A and B are shown apart, each in its own frame.
Chain A
Amino acid sequence: MIESTPARLKRLEQARALVVALESGDDERVNDLIQDIGQVQESVLFQEICKLTRQLHDALTSFYLDERLTRLTQNDIPDARERLNYVITMTEQAANTTLNAVEELLPMVRSQSDRIAALKEDWRRFRVREMSVDEFRELSHTIALHFDESENQLEQIHERLTQVLMAQDFQDLTGQIIRRVINLVKDLEGSMVDMIRLSGGSGALPLPDTTEQAQLQIQPQPVPLHGPAVPGLDNDAVNNQDDVDSLLSSLGF
């Protein structure tokens, strides 16, 4: 049953030679043979040390990955959650601003068109001389009132339309925040793939192709710009335009 590998055969040969040497009292030969046998063991030991070193190296790498994942889960993910909450707040505000303006605009436009329809009818009657002098006096007064009201209402309509226009700035600001969160998710994905690759050992999972690997390596790039300030998160940011103005005026602007 015992397989006769070359290594085994060699050991057997060494053992026999050792017995022969011992029986013949050849001490020098005995020492040489024992040393030869020991060398085989040393090379086995060496291989074991290599294996241990490799494991230690992998453990250290995964420790670094643990750090990266810890940073992501402890700081970056809650930070992203806050930023996404701010996105919800901003989009909600923009929608409410727009809806409020539209709800105010619609009755204004409706009352304008009702007034104009009534005036148009009166004007027609005047043109075909169906109107008495008293009635015309009344109409003249109504027209003057209409001018005042229209002027006032058009100004209000203009104001509401500007509100609607400005409310659309949420798309830029939330877009910038969402882009940052997408980068964070990519970073997290990279760390997890690295983790799985290490803990699964070689061959446990198909390795990502080289282009993806290259991307993963450059991924934890620092975000060079800060983007829109989120209340409560970005404490060293200015709060409003007044802060900007006073900072600039302190610089001689």
Chain B
Amino acid sequence: MRILIVDDFSTMRRIIKNLLRELGFNNTIEADDGQTALPKLRTGGIDFLITDWNMPGMSGIDLLRTIRADNNLKSLPVLMVTAEAKREQIVEAAQAGVNGYVIKPFTAATLEEKINKIFERLGNE
């Protein structure tokens, strides 16, 4: 299981990376916005994406839309972890095809729960 973490703040990437390691996911890579994430995704081998929304360059929502429009990537599970808390934004992300939405600040338990839920649902499909 290889997970790509996309966030413009390196402290947040480190927090998520450490939490994932605690959950047994040791294989993670990082990118600081959508633009740097896309080539990594297109190289292949990434099974799960955790992304922020508000980033310079390419935002998380644009990255999500690009992924869903790309035949090779469209089924990639995407968990959004963001401080964007407006209702219409959550609806927008859902419509763009996000698999889960975690609001910052979050707890280790929330992150684990949402990741597990996504895998559970994917397993049932």
Interface-facing stretch out of A72-80, A108-116, A232-240: A232-240
A165 & B15 in contact (Cβ 8 Å cutoff): yes
Residue A22 at the chain B interface, CB threshold 8 Å: no
Residue B83 at the chain A interface, CB threshold 8 Å: yes
Q: How distant is A252 from chain B, measured CB to nearest CB, in Å?
A: 9
With a cutoff of 8 Å between Cβ atoms, the chain A residues found around residue B103 in the complex are: 238, 240-241, 244
A173 & B105 in contact (Cβ 8 Å cutoff): yes
Digit string of A219-253 for contact with B (CB within 8 Å is 1, else 0)?
A: 00000011111000010111011001001100101
Contacts of A125-184 to chain B: CB distance below 8 A: 162, 165-166, 168-173, 175-176
B101 & A244 in contact (Cβ 8 Å cutoff): yes
Q: How many residues of B contact A (CB 8 A)?
A: 30
With a cutoff of 8 Å between Cβ atoms, the chain A residues found around residue B19 in the complex are: 162, 165
Asked whether A234 and B110 contact (CB < 8 A) given A169-B11, A244-B90, A251-B94, the answer is no
With a cutoff of 8 Å between Cβ atoms, the chain A residues found around residue B105 in the complex are: 166, 169-170, 173
Closest to B61 in A: A225
CA distance A106 to B104 in the complex (A): 29
CA distance A165 to B107 in the complex (A): 10
Closest to A238 in B: B85
Residue B47 at the chain A interface, CB threshold 8 Å: no
A247 & B84 in contact (Cβ 8 Å cutoff): no
Residue B70 at the chain A interface, CB threshold 8 Å: no
Residue B12 at the chain A interface, CB threshold 8 Å: yes
With a cutoff of 8 Å between Cβ atoms, the chain A residues found around residue B18 in the complex are: 165
B85 & A228 in contact (Cβ 8 Å cutoff): yes
CA distance A85 to B59 in the complex (A): 27
Residue B89 at the chain A interface, CB threshold 8 Å: yes
Q: CB within 8 A of B11: which of A162, A171, A241?
A: A171
Q: How distant is A229 from chain B, measured CB to nearest CB, in Å?
A: 4
Residue B48 at the chain A interface, CB threshold 8 Å: no
Q: CB within 8 A of A172: which of B9, B84, B85, B94?
A: B9
With a cutoff of 8 Å between Cβ atoms, the chain A residues found around residue B86 in the complex are: 226, 229, 234, 236-238
Q: List 24 A-B contacts (CB under 8 A).
A: A162-B19, A166-B105, A168-B11, A168-B14, A169-B15, A171-B9, A172-B12, A173-B105, A175-B9, A226-B85, A226-B86, A227-B83, A228-B85, A229-B85, A236-B86, A238-B87, A238-B103, A241-B106, A244-B103, A247-B87, A248-B101, A251-B91, A251-B94, A253-B94
Interface residues of B (CB under 8 A from A): 7, 9, 11-12, 14-15, 18-19, 22, 53-54, 59, 83-87, 89-91, 94, 101-108, 110
5 A-B pairs besides A162-B108, A248-B94 with CB distance below 8 A are A168-B11, A170-B105, A225-B53, A225-B84, A247-B91
